[in-house]
Amino acid sequence: MGVPAARIVFDESDREAVAEAVTEILATGALTLGPWTERFEQAFAAEHGASHAVAVASGTAALEIVLRTVGVRDRDVVVPAVTFYATAGAIVHAGGRPVLADVDPATLALSPETLEAALTPDTAAVVLVHIGGLITPDVDALRAICDRRGVPLVEDAAHAHGSSFAGRAAGTFGLAGAFSFYPTKVTTSGEGGMILTESAELRDEARIYRDQGKGSFTTNHHVRFGASWRLSELNAAVGTVHLRRLKEFVETRRRVARQYDAALAGLDGVRPVTEPAGVRSNYYKYVALLPPGVDRAAFKRAMAEDHGVRLSGEVYDLPLHLQPVLADHRRGPLPVAEDVCARQICLPVHSDMTDDETDEVIRAVTAVHRRVTG
């Protein structure tokens, strides 16, 4: 039958609701910064228990806008080495210098120890990334370190729609959280991003930055070096409709993850990245570490060619300090980041995944593991 790496889920009722919204939008001609953007912002803020939300063109734009508002130009920003290029790219584009830190192997996130090791006298901000939707239980300790240093904690929550720790939602632990609505995310708007914050001042600045730095929508009066970071009304409508399914999607993904946890517990040397106490992941990705020495490329190829199961992209196969474009920011080896990036795989998790598909993945992983560890 085969299991794809990813599947984007819009059922018939979703498609009908989007089509109705698009018809309304096209009839009114209000194609940007209109009522659907406001609805999307209000719904996303309410879903995560936040006071303010600002919809923007992408998750990368969300992060860059926050960093521009903080003021990181010509200063250092701590970022974990295990994350997507865009986390560091947003820092560079905002004028900052990425300081790449190692991670906790249990959560793939910053730890208090790795954060302390990366702080400099000129640190302007710290970016915490929730890899695969998992929030580190050290988040309060990380915030406390930032508070003592007088620097803001910013969450890259691109993976973490609906994730929580101790009952608090992703995007609400620091000054602001930046979310992505890229097509593969748990909920999507096609393309887009969102900023969550408790700060009315940051909200207002973000609205200025997203619209070419204009002081108001209707005037040619530019007060910031912003960009075209608006979210279209069409994308906002898609995002608003899909967001209604978030709780359902997360429950399905968590059911799949529980089945994977039980199955992988019996495979020698395979270590899933599991939830610590108090953490509730959305399982945007189900991450597991292969035994040392196993050829990941061969493992993935055998899964696909012999069993029809395609693993989704790793998070991530190359740590930031080994990315060619960030060579100028290398400070030396980061052993944990290098190890987990070399060994991680992501088992497919879909928001409508069936038990038959889950069983098919488990059989394939078990068979390939037996072959490669012989």
- At 244-278, the pLDDT tens digits run 999 999 999 999 999 999 999 999 999 999 999 99
Residues 176 and 297 in one domain: no
Can you give the pLDDT at residue 326?
Answer: 96
Question: Full-prediction pTM beyond 0.95?
Answer: yes
Can you give the pLDDT at residue 312?
Answer: 87
Q: With pLDDT > 90 as the criterion, what percentage of the chain qualifies? A: 96
Residues 369 and 265 in one domain: yes
End-to-end CA distance of the chain: 26
- CA 256 – CA 89 distance, rounded (Å): 33
68 pLDDT more than 80:
yes
Residue 106's pLDDT band (boundaries 50, 70, 90)? very high
Residues 206 and 254 in one domain: no
Residues 194 and 297 in one domain: no
Output the domain CATH number for residue 348: 3.90.1150.10
Helix axes 85-93, 59-70, angle to 10 degrees: 40
Sequential DSSP letters for 245-292: THHHHHHHHHHHHHHHHHHHTTSTT-EE-PPPTTEE---SSEEEEPPT
Are 194 and 62 in contact by the 8 Å Cβ rule? The answer is yes
Boundaries of domain holding 266: 246-373
Rg (CA), the chain: 21
Which of 211, 243, 275 delimits the end of a domain? Answer: 243
The H or E element that residue 13 is part of is helix 12-28
Which of 243, 260, 277 delimits the end of a domain? Answer: 243
Q: How open is the CA angle 43-45-51, to the nearest 5 degrees?
A: 135
CA proximity to 361, closest of 319, 295, 292, 312: 312
Can you give the pLDDT at residue 135?
Answer: 98
Residues 204 and 259 in one domain: no
Pull the structure tokens for residue 23: 């018809």
Pull the structure tokens for residue 114: 């790795």
Q: With pLDDT > 70 as the criterion, what percentage of the chain qualifies? A: 100
Say which residue the tokens 């190829």 belong to. 301
Buried b or exposed e, range 157-166, using 16+ CB within 10 angstroms: bbbbbbbbbe
Can you give the pLDDT at residue 1?
Answer: 65
Which of 213, 243, 273 delimits the end of a domain? Answer: 243
Number of domains in the chain: 2
The string of pLDDT tens digits covering residues 161-178 is 999 999 999 999 999 999
- CA 287 – CA 73 distance, rounded (Å): 34
Q: Is the peptide bond preceding residue 209 cis, with omega within 30 degrees of 0?
A: no
